[in-house]
Amino acid sequence: MMLEGIRVLEIAQNLAGPMAAEILAHLGADVVKIERPEGDDARRWGPPFWKGVSPGFLAVNANKRSITVDLKDKASVAWVVELAGQADVLVQNLRPGALDELGLGPTTLIEHYPRLIYCSVWAFGARGPLKLKPGYEPMVQAFSGLMMMNGDEGGPPTRIGTSILDYGTGMWAAMGTLAALVRRERTGRGGVVDASLFETGLAWLKGHHASFRASGAVPERHRTGSNRVVPFQAFETKTGPLIVAAGNDRLFAKLAGVLGHPEWVKDPRFVTNAARVEHRAMLCAMIDEIFATRPKGEWIDRLEADGVPCAVINSLPDAAAHAQTAALDMIQPMPGDDFALVALPLSFDGRRPRIHRAPPAIGQHNPSRDRPARWPEG
C-alpha cells in the first residue's frame, strides 16, 4: 500500500476529521484514533444503529484502531504527547483552541517533533474573525452559500442531502496531508495543514463565483439543471424522469434528431448554447412535451443508440445494487460482520484498496499506559 509505514494519530470526532484519517487508513497508513472514554459523539448519532453503533460512525472509521484517553488528566495528555512523537501525521478537529490549551497544538508539537505533519480541520478556517466559531454541516452549508444555490427555482434554500462539506473537507485535508508528506520526503520537515468546511463550501461553488464575477448576476437555481448549459436537466417521461445532458452543439443536434426535430439545429433561438440558455424556458417546455409521450426505457434506448448522454434517477438502493457498482467493487464487506461499507473511490494499478479492519469498538486497542508511550502493534 502507498502509505505503508506511515503512522497517523487521529484526535478527531464526528465526520470531517475522521473522514480525513480514514482516507489515509485506506491508503495503507496505520491510524490510531484517540477517543474520550465515552467515545466519539458520532457513535451515538441515530437511530438507526448497527449493533449499538451509528452507521454514520461506521462510515468513516474503518481500518483504524481506538484508544481511549481522558484529556482532562494531565498524565494522559503527557502520554498522548509522547505518542504523537511516534506519529508521522496528527489529524484533529476538536473545538477550536482546545488542543492548544492542553499543550497539543501545532506550535508546541512541531517544535518538539519537527517532522510531524499537523492537520487541523476547522468549521470556518484557521484565520479570520470566525476562527474560533464552532460549526456543523448545516450551519456551514447555509453560511457558504451552498443552500442558497440548491433547490427549486423560486423555492426556499435547501440543504444538500448528504454531509458534502464534512466529507469534502476530509478529502481536502487528506490531499493536503499527502502533499505535506511529499514535501517532508524532500526537505525533512513537517508542517501544518489546515482545511475547513467553509473553504470547502466556497470551493464547491467556484464555478458559480466565476459566473458571478463575469456577469455581475447571481446564478439562478435550476433544480436538476445547469445555469450555463441547456438542455442539461431532468425531463418527465410517461414512467418517470430521466436526465439528459446535451453538453455541446453536436450533442444537441443528436438530441434534436432523436426528438424528431432536426430543424432545431438551424433555429436561431437554439443554434448555440448561449442562445439555448437565453431561450431555456421555451426549449425545455417543448422537450418536456415530447418526452411525456413515451416511457423512460424507450427514450433511454433511443438516446443511447444515438450517443446522447442520459441517465435514470436512481434511488440509493438502486445505485448500490447496480451491476456497475458491483463491477467497481465499491461496496465492500466489513470484516467480521454482516455489514458493508462504501470503499475508497480510488484504484491503483487496477485494484481498489480493501477494507481490512472493521471500525473499532471504543478503546478496543487500549495499550498498557506504562512509560514510555508505545505505538500499539498489530
* Partner residues linked to 340 by β-bridges: 333
Residue 123 · residue 197 · CB < 8 Å: yes
Calculate the CA dihedral of residues 38, 41, 44, 47 and round it to 10 degrees: 180
Residue 277 · residue 246 · CB < 8 Å: no
pLDDT of residue 361: 95
Distance between CA atoms of residues 114 and 133, nearest Å: 29
Categorise residue 237: left if φ over 0, alpha if ψ from -120 to 50, beta otherwise. beta
Active-site choice (166, 301, 329, 370): 166
Which domains, from first to last, does the chain contain? 7-204+327-342 (3.40.50.10540), 232-313 (3.30.1540.10)
Cα angle 320, 325, 326; round to 5: 105
pLDDT per residue of the chain (378 residues) written in tens, 0 to 9: 799 999 999 999 999 999 999 999 999 999 999 999 999 999 999 999 999 999 999 999 999 999 999 999 999 999 999 999 999 999 999 999 999 999 999 999 999 999 999 999 999 999 999 999 999 999 999 999 999 999 888 889 999 999 999 999 999 999 999 999 999 999 999 999 999 999 999 999 999 899 889 999 888 888 888 888 999 999 999 999 999 999 999 999 999 999 999 999 999 999 999 999 999 999 999 999 999 999 999 999 999 999 999 999 998 999 999 999 999 999 999 999 999 999 999 999 999 999 999 999 999 999 876 667 889 887
Amino acid at the residue 188? G
Amino acid at the residue 164? I
In angstroms, how far is the first alpha carbon of the chain from the final one? 16
Q: Tens of pLDDT along 332-343?
A: 999 999 999 999
pLDDT of residue 345: 93
Distance between CA atoms of residues 56 and 45, nearest Å: 7
Other beta carbons within 10 angstroms of residue 164's beta carbon come to 18
pTM exceeds cut of 0.85: yes
Residue 2 · residue 25 · CB < 8 Å: no
Cell 452559500 appears where?
145
Q: Tens of pLDDT along 232-266?
A: 999 999 999 999 999 999 999 999 999 999 999 99
Using CA atoms, how far residue 76 sits from 89, 96, 179, 198, 360, in Å, is 19, 20, 31, 33, 21
Q: 318 an active-site residue?
A: no
DSSP run (H or E) holding 206: helix 206-215
